[in-house]
Amino acid sequence: MNLQTRDRLQLGTLLGPLSLFLAIFFLGPLFIMMVTSFLAPGLYGGVEWHFYPDNFGRILGFADPAFEEYDPIYIAIFLRSIRIAALTVIVTLLVCYPAAFQISRLSERWKNISLFLITLPFFTSLIVRLFVWVLLLRQTGLINELLLKTGLINRPLEMIYTDGAIIVGMVYIFIPFMFMPVYASVEKLDWSLVRASQDLGAGPVRTFLRIILPLTLPGIVGGSIIVFIPALGNFVVPAVLGGAKVQMLGNLIEQQFLSARNWPFGSALAMLVMSVMLVLLFFYVRQESRGSQIPAPGR
């Protein structure tokens, strides 16, 4: 056996079974989902095997004219999901960015402790972390309880089952995703450039906008993408904190599969979520290959 055949054999042993597994159970399902999104929904659930592009039309409001009239409800849900996901990204960034500066200046020991404390929630149960916010935000929740007791309000505020509640919940669970990439670029920041800028007479605002912001931008972009992707298609947070109405794409997809039983339409919606993710990922990878290294968040 010469060296090359042996190498090939080793490589095949290492990657063969895995490739087969991913081809069948990862690429296969995605392919079938894509096919389903172009099929017609059957009357009693299930699918009809002929080409039917109206699932995608329906998202935009232009559905099969034989059945439906123009109805922009789905595009409204899509835009609303985008808005909520974008707000989540902005708030998460505002929460994490300043803290990253402070933590990057701590001593080695405290830095490590802080990073441990920030990553730790990522490992705790997601549903438990959301449950905590239900207890805080609901009508008889702790925040209302405290506000009533101190006399600041005389009627409980409606905080849960609002978009605000969804955003708070998402910010809470996505903090580690944003913090790690942002921190990585803040930590690498060359402070001598900041000092040079100040010595040359630039004010704090200008120094921030011209030096600090551009240098930490890779982390900001990376963190934003990593938060935006799971926020857009999220269905647990709106289901727990967002009340009964269909709030976001994730709930709409769930509904198509578990109650409406319109799998082709659900698949088309999932294709939409997936394409947004692929487009963002493409930009992320391109930016990363341009020299800025962003590590995976908290993993």
Partner 1 sequence: MKLIRSIGRSILAFYTVLFFVFVYLPLFLIMVYSFNANPVNMMTWSGFTTEWYAQVLGFKTTISENALYLESTDQLLQAVRNSLLIALSTTAVATLFGTAAALAVHRFHFFGKRLYRVLLFLPMLMPDIVLGIALLIFFVSAGIHLGIGTIIIGQCTFLISYVFIVVSARLAGMDRTLEHASADLGANEWMTFRRVVMPQLMPGIIGGALLAFIISMDDLVITYFIAGVDVTTLPMFIFSMMRRGIKPEINAIAVMMLMFSVIIASLGLYFRSRQKS
In the complex, minimum distance from the CB of residue 69 to partner 1, in angstroms, rounded to a whole number: 27
Do 98 and 105 touch, CB atoms closer than 8 A?
no
Residues 148-177 close enough to bind partner 1 by CB under 8 A: 172, 175
Query: Pick from 63, 118, 170, 180: which binds partner 1 (CB under 8 A)?
Result: 118
In the complex, minimum distance from the CB of residue 39 to partner 1, in angstroms, rounded to a whole number: 11
Cβ proximity to partner 1: between 185 and 262 the closer is: 262
Is 40 a binder of partner 1 (CB under 8 A)? no
Residues 268-287 close enough to bind partner 1 by CB under 8 A: 270, 273-274, 277, 281, 285
164 Ramachandran zone, left/alpha/beta (phi>0; psi -120 to 50): alpha
Tokens 């551009």, located at residue? 214
In the complex, minimum distance from the CB of residue 149 to partner 1, in angstroms, rounded to a whole number: 9
The amino acid present at 77, given as its one-letter code, is I
Cβ proximity to partner 1: between 63 and 130 the closer is: 130
Cβ proximity to partner 1: between 165 and 240 the closer is: 240
Instruction: Identify the DSSP state of 280.
Output: H
Give the interface size with partner 1 as a residue count (CB under 8 A). Answer: 79
Cβ proximity to partner 1: between 17 and 65 the closer is: 17
Q: Alpha-carbon distance 78 to 184, whole Å? A: 32
Token readout for 294 is 């962003």
Do 274 and 161 touch, CB atoms closer than 8 A?
no
Query: Pick from 51, 123, 200, 201: which binds partner 1 (CB under 8 A)?
Result: 123
Token readout for 261 is 């039983």
Do 269 and 58 touch, CB atoms closer than 8 A?
no
